[in-house]
Structure 1
Amino acid sequence: MSMSTTWDDLVTTALLGTDRRPASPGALLDEAALRTVQRRAALLPDAPRPLPEAAPEDVRPPLPEAARRRLALLLAERAAGPGGSGRRGGGPDLTELLPQWLAAANDHGYRAPADLLPGLLDAARARSDLRPGALALGGPRALWLARLNPQWRYALRDAPASRATPAVTDTGEGVEQLWQEGLFAERVALLTSLRRRDPAAARELLATTWDRERAEDRLMFLDSLRDGLSLADEPFLEGALTDRGRTVRATAAELLSALPASALAARMAERAKACVALDRTAGRPTVVVEAPHECDAGMRRDGVVAKPPAGRGERSWWLGQLVEATPLGIWCERLGVAGAAEAVALPVADGWRPDLHAAWCRAAVRQEDAEWSRALLGPAASPPEPTGASWLDPAKLLSALPPAERAGWVAEFIAAHGLSEAFRLLGVCAVPWAEPLGRAVVDALDTAREAGGYPWSFSGVMGMAERCLDPDQADLLEALTVLPAGPGDGDAGHGAAGYWAEAYQRLIGTLRLRATMRRELTDGS
């Protein structure tokens, strides 16, 4: 019997007898069994392929047994989906605890169990926010599996460069071959890993094929230069300013503007200074603005987009792009002030303040300038801008502040203004929340309860508190689950007070579960 033998051949041999066909009874039965399985699986016979090379070793320590069971439970809960177990009444939402669990496991340097790698890769495929943690825990074996299953190809692109995911190869020839012949996801992974280890080598590798790459691929490759960006990248990025792809040109200009000492930043500064000045003739020093009257070829080459979005004036659009790309350090001298706070406090003539301050905000975020971010945010307890300040994005500005200062600012904001405007601000604070921030959130929730509100009006904040409050705060919240004695409250579970008690019980239960998960991860340390 051979791979060319068909089912009809087997039937004919069985009918005629093995003495009239060259086959032994045992071989006939074996072949029939194989073909039966193939027919039931709707598979055609295929030539055998060589086995893949063995999975690489992962020398990191395994998870403690309790933590391993916990991971299996979290993955099973995720796989169950909306129709599965999900949130049960007052129980914790386990799927929302998976990112935090992964971060904690990676902090301990554990490796994922081999039998749970497929579930881990499936989870990260479905939720991009899980990918960094899942791929770090999966390590080199997760990447080995990803090369065998097209559904997991994302891992080759998103894998972090760390001791768990070493470089694809340490030889120059191997790097060059993979860069020239690899799949796109593999090439992105290679460039990202190499950039983190040797920024110059990654840039030089990219330059070897830059002119032959597709525009969308050039954009992805160019984005990898954000990691380890320095003035050494300036010549390459200056060349990309004349790229045939508009988005590639814009990204190159953005990267150069994040380097205050770059030639592009200097060109933008000269243009911006020609538009913004200080007028001392009107009694009180006032910032005056004369926005550009045209978007010339030099501005377009440096990344200024000529056509504004709908509803936006051309001149204000051009001005914003110039100021956004200008190093913030030039403004104190230009405006004759000692620091960012004084510059922000200056009045701006002719209604240009929102445009100018919006551009300063974007520049502060891009340049990660804490002083300017602090000045533009202002005191947390101050009332919001009377116009609604659509140009002000506190969440982005907060990202430029140190974590402790960030948490303190948001705590003061909540104490002064409540929770209705604080959801996005909480999202940029480090987890677990520092004690002043956690206390401010709990106090604001308790104030809402005493005012007669219902917990589902704050469901987003409650869900975030379950994930972000320090687990050690669980015992301190016990008092909030006690129903007050009074008319109409004798029947526990009725009225707003009962709903709040249930919400706090779920919060406490989740915090205690997080504390248990933390202990499970340390049992084997």
Structure 2
Amino acid sequence: MMRTSAPVAAPGPGAWEELVTTALLGTDRRALPAGVPGGRAPSALLDAAAVDTVRRRAGLRAAPARERPEPAPEDPRPALPEAAARRLAMLLADRPGAGGGGRRGTAPDLIELLPQWLAMANAHGYAAPPETLPALLDAARARTDLRPAALAFAGPRALWLARLNPDWRFALRAAPGGSAALPGPEDTDRIRQLWEEGLFAERVALLAAIRSRRPAAARELLAATWATERAEDRLMFLDSLRTGLGPDDEPFLEQALTDRSRNVRATAAELLSALPGSALAARMAERAAACVAVDPLRGTPTLVVEAPHACDPGMERDGVVPKAPAGRGERSWWLGQLLEAAPLGTWSARLGGRTPQEIVALPVADDWQGELHAAWCRAAVRQKDAQWARALLGTPAAPEAGGPGALSLAERAKLLGTLGAAERAEWVAGFIAAHGLSEAFQLLGVCAVPWAAPLGRAVVDALNIARDAGSYPWSFSGVMGLAERCLDPAEANRLDGLLAVPDEPEDASPGAGGYWAEAFQRLVTTLRLRSAMAEELRGG
């Protein structure tokens, strides 16, 4: 007959540490916490350790069963084609860093193709396969840039899952009320309840969604509770008015100019300055016009600048920050803010009817050109003025002494964002042809994907020139990675001639030829994979 040990009482807090200490010292030197004596102590110690081990592994105390969750909602969208579903599983299975660092070889970087695959799948209106939802949510949790596209593709079932797993709670914050659909325009009671009782993230998402469909309704919703909101919340809510900004928003924004929060006042002033017909824009135009003029006494027409000597209360109310950053002169700081907020249409009338191109080409006295052009650049971006953006960008082949060389790469990238996709790509292609790829990475990032044919050819030609010149290959890895994601897949056949290992010049980096061959092979392989992905999503 098998002998069984006596039942062991449930250990209290810290019991496991006591058991470990007793085992290390021995039961003859240290008694069990329960005080079991003599020869039974060793087996009692093991019994107690076994019980506590099971309890620790279980992790939860026994409790009444919860109610069974409601079934997941249906997703009415069409199912993915079978080949596309297999491809998605491959993309989700790839993890960053799996290659262990070093040279990437010729294999495509699958995780970097996932955003593009999701964009194409959403354009087709497909539903995510249910079995991929956990991996999709994990990917979106790890990469915030994936979240909008991943959650749109995952659909209502992802939100159902997110309620069951705290790790996926971000998905609930991304959807107003944690539901798949926003309350309809007629459901004013539900909208009002969510606005008054929802979490901050839910309220931000709700306001943004309503603003995108009905700007006036969103503004009225915000105005109803504006006086009771915290300053940091008012700032976030006010920022949502950028979408659909129009003249009807001016009275509300003028009221916000008197807000007790400086950041709220500054944001309201920025939004008003983006409305060229606003009263604030007119006030700023008058102030800015008093600071810049054409000197009639010089033989060559020259712009002269007289920066403000003080920041008066009216300027401060209209969003001018009086205290300059460290290392910046106060007068130039105030001037820049006035010029940035003044409507760009001010300057043609003020400066003799000249066009933006003629104004930008004028010499500027006393080293004010950099300050003046940088402020006009910010104004062109804020006001989305393509004519001024073209004038400030100049021709892409202009030397560093003038034209685009007067502005930083970051400023040029922002100016390019005001142009149409085709014009943007043409300008960057010209810049690359004139200046090479060393400074083009930031400019390429603002171009529409896939790159237009002239831009794609300019990038490939510049890479080929760098390879033939024996340039240090790793310095072009960023551009090569962009090309893998952004070149038109139709360009793959043009690259076949670049796959051979080139002869290395004497002054080339050792092994550079092999690296270039690998990089072009990876580029061709990735382009063909992207082409196959698009065909799979079309059901081909």
TM-score range, shorter chain: 0.7 to 0.9
Partner residue of 1:453? 471
Does the 8 Å contact 1:237/1:256 carry over to 2? yes
Shift in Å at residue 390 of structure 1?
A: 5.4
Moved over 6 A (4+): 35-39, 84-87, 485-488
Measure the CA separation in 2 of the matches of 1:84 and 1:391: 36
| Farther off after superposition, 438-447 or 203-212 | 203-212
SS at match of 2:94: helix
Match of 1:203 in 2: 219
Cα distance in structure 2, aligned partners of 1:272 and 1:155: 46
After superposing the two structures, state which structure 1 stretch, 387-396 or 343-352, moved more: 387-396
Deviation per CA, 1:334-356, whole angstroms, max 9, x where unpaired? 11134211111112121111111
Contact 2:504/2:513 (<8 A) preserved? no
Relative to structure 1, the CA distance from residue 146 to residue 315 in structure 2 (aligned partners, 3 Å threshold; closer, same or farther) is farther
> What amino acid maps onto 1:353 in structure 2?
Q
> Are residue 242 (structure 1) and residue 248 (structure 2) matched?
no
Partner residue in 2 for 1:154: 170
| CA–CA separation in structure 1 for the residues paired with 2:232 and 2:262 | 10
SS in 1 for 2:294: strand
5 Å-filtered alignment, 1:92-131, equals 92-131=108-147
Match of 1:26?
Answer: none
Unpaired runs of 5+ residues, structure 1, are 1-6, 10-34, 489-493
Other-structure match for 1:167: 182
Distance 1:415 1:122 in 2: 42
| Offset, 1:271 | 0.9
Match for 1:426: what amino acid? Answer: L
Distance apart, 1:266 and its partner CA: 1.1
- In the TM superposition, residue 149 of structure 1 has moved relative to its aligned partner by 4.2
Equivalent positions of 1:293-308 (< 5 A) are 293-308=309-324
CA distance in 2, matches of 1:93, 1:215: 44
Alpha-carbon separation, structure 2, partners of 1:479 and 1:84: 27
What residue is the counterpart of 2:88 in the other structure?
Answer: 71
CA contact (8 A) 1:275 1:292 kept: yes
Q: Counterparts of 1:152-301 in structure 2 under 5 Å?
A: 152-158=168-174, 166-168=181-183, 171-301=187-317
Q: Given the superposition, is the C-alpha separation of residues 442 and 391 from structure 1 closer, same or farther in structure 2, using an over 3 Å criterion?
A: closer
Scaled by the length of structure 2, the TM-score of the pair is 0.84
What is the Cα deviation at residue 36 of structure 1? 11
Residue in 1 that maps onto 2:462: 444
State the 1:56 CA deviation: 3.5
CA deviations 1:179-227 (Å, max 9, x no partner) are 1111122212211111112111111111222222222222111111111
1:84 to 1:168, Cα distance in 2 relative to 1, 3 A: farther
Change (3 A) 1:53 1:221: farther
CA distance in 1: counterparts of 2:358 and 2:407, whole angstroms: 22
1: CA distance, partners of 2:523 / 2:306 = 54
- Measured against aligned partners, the alpha-carbon deviations of 1:78-112 in whole angstroms (never above 9, x if no partner) come to 3xx42568885220111111111111111111122
Counterpart CA distance in 1 for 2:495 and 2:167 is: 44
Match of 1:504 among 520, 524, 532: 520
Q: Is the 8 A contact 2:269 2:319 kept in 1?
A: yes
- The question of whether the paired residues in 1 share the 8 Å contact of 2:175 and 2:202 is answered with no
In the alignment, which residue of structure 2 is the partner of 1:16?
Answer: none
- Secondary structure class of the residue paired with 1:362: helix
Tell me, yes or no, if the aligned pair for 1:277 and 1:335 is still in contact at 8 Å: yes
Structure 1 residue 261 displacement after superposition: 1.1
**2-side partners of 1:507 and 1:272: how far apart?**
50
Q: Per the alignment, in what secondary structure is the counterpart of residue 474 of structure 1?
A: helix
Q: Which residue number corresponds to residue 352 of structure 2? A: 336
Deviations 1:227-281 (A, max 9, x none): 1111111111111112222222211111111111111111111111111122222
Distance 1:241 1:186 in 2: 26
Count of residues in correspondence between the two structures? 485
Residues 372-381 or 187-196, more deviating = 187-196
2:78 maps to: 61
- Aligned partner (choices 58, 62, 68) of residue 41 of structure 1: 58
Q: Shift of the alpha carbon at 1:313?
A: 0.4
Does structure 2 retain, via aligned residues, the 8 Å contact 1:328–1:363? yes
Cα contact 1:454–1:500 (8 A) shared by 2: no
Cα distance in 2 for partners of 1:99, 1:487 equals 39
Kept in 2: contact 1:438–1:470 (CA 8 A): yes
**Cα separation, 2, equivalents of 1:37 and 1:110:** 45
Does the CA-based 8 Å contact 1:154-1:185 persist in structure 2? Answer: no
Amino acid at match of 1:77: D
The gaps in structure 2 that reach 5 residues or longer are: 1-7, 11-51
**Residue 423 of structure 1: aligned partner:** 441
Deviation at 1:517, TM superposition (A): 0.8
Match of residue 412 from structure 1: 430
Per the normalisation by structure 1, the TM-score is: 0.86
| Counterparts of 1:486 and 1:125, CA distance in 2 | 45
Distance 1:278 1:427, change over 3 A: same
Query: Is the 8 Å Cα contact of residues 370 and 400 (structure 1) preserved in structure 2?
Result: yes
Bigger radius of gyration among the two? 2
